């Protein structure tokens, strides 16, 4: 465990992947800003487990559909050494049936708000000389998926953003990477039938979906000093589904 005082800002901390990330980082000695929107109960349940690791934890409530939330979040952050964007939502529909509101919501939560936050946090992130920025992207950001066209688009934008920003921030020692999971066993999969999930599993060499903890383990590594020379990368966690 690193001994220095360090703070990570995790968006979407109330989700299953976000919770696993927070627990892994706390165990690795990170103090945390844990962002959530509506699921306060999940954060309240998570909090004792984080505090048991003897780290500081600062819950931050914000709606990513509200662009004024950036200024409010900035006021609550005094030190930041890592920014992990795990907040997200999906929209399963034909693209032609999506409304402007549907598309705007996906853009805001996956790209616009995190871009604004990162732009604001860069002076603090670069101060430590080993800052970390990580986006939880998706396999669909690399290959695209029917019925998830807009979702695939914003996930692809996350990857492009990470690659471009890594070039700007490299001289400061700040790394910028994307993690691209395949199918993860979360409540998001409840929208698919048992038969549909079985078909998906058969397409994956491991014949199973990823666990949230497996995503968190990768985040723990990429935010550690062991990953000092890794930047501009897309770390695939898909069980060999995409190679």
Confidence at residue 49, expressed as pLDDT on a 0 to 100 scale: 98
Confidence at residue 142, expressed as pLDDT on a 0 to 100 scale: 94
- The sign one gets for the Cα dihedral 215, 138, 89, 121 is positive
> What size, in residues, is the chain?
243
Helix axes 16-27, 212-222, angle to 10 degrees: 40
The pTM assigned to this predicted structure is 0.94
Confidence at residue 22, expressed as pLDDT on a 0 to 100 scale: 99
Q: Which residues are catalytic?
A: 151
Give the residue carrying structure tokens 């666990």.
Answer: 211
Confidence at residue 190, expressed as pLDDT on a 0 to 100 scale: 84
- For 123, other C-beta atoms within 10 Å of its C-beta total 10
- Tokens representing 65 are 């559909």
Q: Which domains does the chain have, with CATH numbers?
A: 7-237 (3.40.50.720)
Confidence at residue 3, expressed as pLDDT on a 0 to 100 scale: 64
Confidence at residue 1, expressed as pLDDT on a 0 to 100 scale: 41
Tens digit of each residue's pLDDT, the chain (243 residues) = 446 899 999 999 999 999 999 999 999 999 999 999 999 999 999 999 999 999 999 999 999 988 888 898 999 999 999 999 999 988 989 999 999 999 999 999 999 999 999 999 999 999 988 999 999 999 999 999 999 999 999 999 999 999 999 999 999 999 999 999 999 988 888 888 999 999 999 999 999 999 999 999 999 999 999 999 999 999 999 999 987
Nearest to 136 by CA among 154, 117, 123: 154
Give the per-residue SS3 of the chain. Answer: CCCCCCEEEEECCCCHHHHHHHHHHHHCCCEEEEEECCCHHHHHHHHHHHHCCCCCEEEEECCCCCCCHHHHHHHCCCCCCEEEECCCCCCCCCHHHCCHHHHHHHHHHHHHHHHHHHHHHHHHHHHCCCCEEEEECCCHHHHCCCCCHHHHHHHHHHHHHHHHHHHHHHHHCCEEEEEEECCECCHHHHHCCHHHHHHHHHHCCCCCCECHHHHHHHHHHHCCHHHCCCCCCEEEECCCCCC
């Amino acid at each position: 465990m690193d001994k220095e005082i360090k703070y990570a800002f995790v968006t979407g901390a109330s989700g299953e992947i976000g919770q696993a990330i927070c627990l892994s980082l706390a165990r690795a000695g990170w103090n945390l800003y844990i962002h959530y929107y509506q699921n306060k109960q999940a954060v309240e349940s998570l909090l004792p487990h984080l505090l048991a690791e003897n780290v500081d934890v600062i819950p931050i409530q914000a709606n990513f559909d509200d662009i004024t939330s950036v200024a409010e979040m900035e006021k609550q952050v005094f030190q930041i050494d890592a920014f992990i964007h795990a907040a997200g939502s999906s929209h399963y529909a034909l693209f032609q049936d999506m409304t402007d509101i549907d598309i705007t919501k996906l853009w805001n939560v996956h790209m616009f708000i995190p871009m604004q936050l990162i732009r604001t946090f860069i002076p603090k992130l670069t101060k430590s000389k080993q800052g970390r920025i990580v986006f939880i992207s998706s396999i669909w950001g690399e290959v695209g998926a029917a019925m998830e066209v807009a979702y695939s688009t914003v996930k692809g934008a996350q990857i492009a953003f990470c690659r471009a920003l890594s070039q700007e921030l490299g001289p400061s020692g700040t790394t910028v990477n994307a993690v691209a999971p395949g199918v993860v066993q979360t409540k998001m999969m409840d929208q698919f039938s048992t038969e549909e999930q079985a078909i998906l599993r058969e397409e994956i060499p491991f014949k199973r979906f990823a666990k949230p903890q497996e995503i968190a383990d990768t985040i723990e590594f990429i935010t550690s000093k062991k990953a000092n020379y890794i930047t501009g990368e897309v770390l695939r966690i898909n069980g060999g589904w995409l190679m």
